[in-house]
Amino acid sequence: MSMMIREAALSKRNEGDGSVGSAVIAAEKCIKKAGIDKQDIDLLINTGIYKEENIAEPAMAALIQKKLGLSLDPGVYKKDKSTLSFDLFNGACSFLYAAQVADAFIRNHERKLVMIVSSEVHPSKKVSPDFPYTHIGSAVLLEKSKKEGRGFRSFMFETSPTGSKSYMGYIDIKAYGPKGRELVNVDIAPDYYEKLEKHTLGAIKEHVLSGDINPSEIDIIITSQSIPGFGEKISKVLGSKGIKSISTYKEFGNAFSSDLVIGYCMANKDGILKNGDKVLFVGAGSGLTAALAVYEV
């Protein structure tokens, strides 16, 4: 049996105290919507990239787990019950990489309920006009599919063999000095998105030719939002009419690691997703990576 999305939720823009707070608010909303005991979550994966004070250690997942009050003392909640948590980072592709890891845990009966959380904030926790990403949090609860064929059917990842340094986020410690906790550099080359688009569309074509993606099956495309009109361009590559493309940029801007979850939440809220629909998730980022997944609602 495959893995399905049980619930998903978002925090509001600029809601919460930094990336930990934003992720926790989204997680609490997701838990409430699902109607579960949060202590039943077996695995917590954090995929957010930019966080308050540029924290490097410990893993942000551990800080989110603590603030969420998730299985902090297994003996208190349920005998022999514990929650594993860790970070998994790969830019706008992070959600699908985390979902693949979650799928492996669920398929091997190691975990039953997995939560993936994400959030992006400026290290100062203040909104900066120069910071390219929206302050927002997201959470997704995953479990084993109750119906054969429903859920994630396949994951595909393609990374450029030559790599690219056209996009970099870093801290200039020498220049910032004592203010290094509050500042970050995000350098994006003028041709970065052009290269990223070419790489991602090429990866989709390759998987269509190999039979991993059947264009006639796809009903909806949900993509990361760094490239304007990206979903429409993917629809043209697939060559199948009637495919809906979910665009989140106008309302949410570029939410980076939360983009795909936001797209799913929007489609679900607006009644676009219907039972049996096939969704193509497309994440594009890093240097250069395309992450693809086919999901049946």
Between 97 and 147, name the one with better pLDDT.
97
Q: What is the pLDDT of residues 207-233, one digit of tens each?
A: 999 999 999 999 999 999 988 789 999
Closest CA to 277 of 267, 291, 269: 267
More confident residue, 54 or 71: 54
On the question of pLDDT at 249 being above 80, the answer is: yes
The whole-number pLDDT of residue 80 equals 63
Q: What is the mean pLDDT of residues 90-110?
A: 95
Select from 95, 10, 77 the least CA-distant residue to 41: 77
Q: Position of tokens 């706008």?
A: 92
Does the pLDDT of residue 75 top 80, yes or no? no
Strand order in the sheet with 3-10: 3-10, 136-144, 114-120, 43-46, 84-87
Q: What domains can you pick out in the chain, each with its CATH number?
A: 3-148 (3.40.47.10), 153-161+191-296 (3.40.47.10)
Instruction: Report residue 292's pLDDT band, with 50, 70 and 90 as the boundaries.
Output: very high
